[in-house]
Amino acid sequence: MIVSWWSYSTPLWYAQLIEDRRPDIFVADDRTRLDQNLGDLTTVIDANLGVRPVYVTRVDQNELVQLFDRYNLTPLASPVAGNVFKVTPKVSAAPRAQP
């Protein structure tokens, strides 16, 4: 799954629908989230973490700050996709047992 926004979603959809590439990837665009009632940014990510790989591309700095606070975001090792991140849950330390 790629959580995207319009400017990035359009070429992804073109590659899928016209070039028949990667039909297995769901592009969750802002409009798609509204039309399919998928919820806000974190809701759609949370619903898919642990189910399938989740990637995100955002340009809004406030959204990125929110995502970095909530998840581990690992940038792709590609100079062409500098703002695409793999999303994984943050692992919190287990609480220590009381003596």
- Residue 55's nearest CA partner among 91, 80, 26 is 26
Q: Residue 20: inside a domain, yes or no? A: yes
Residue 85 lies in a domain: yes
Domain membership flag for residue 94: no
Q: Is residue 35 part of a domain?
A: yes
Pairing of strands 84-89, 71-75: antiparallel
Domain that residue 71 falls in: 2-89
Is 33 part of any domain?
yes
| Segment 54-89, tens digit of pLDDT | 999 988 889 999 999 999 999 987 777 778 999 999
Q: At 98, is the secondary structure helix, strand, or coil?
A: coil
- Please state the φ and ψ torsions of residue 2, each to the nearest 5 degrees: -120, 120
The answer to whether residue 99 is domain-embedded is no
In a domain, 76, yes or no: yes
Please count the structural domains in the chain.
1
Q: Is 84 left (phi over 0), alpha (psi -120 to 50) or beta?
A: beta
Asked, for residue 31, whether it belongs to a domain, the answer is yes
Instruction: Express each pLDDT in 33-63 by its tens digit.
Output: 999 999 999 999 999 999 999 999 988 889 9
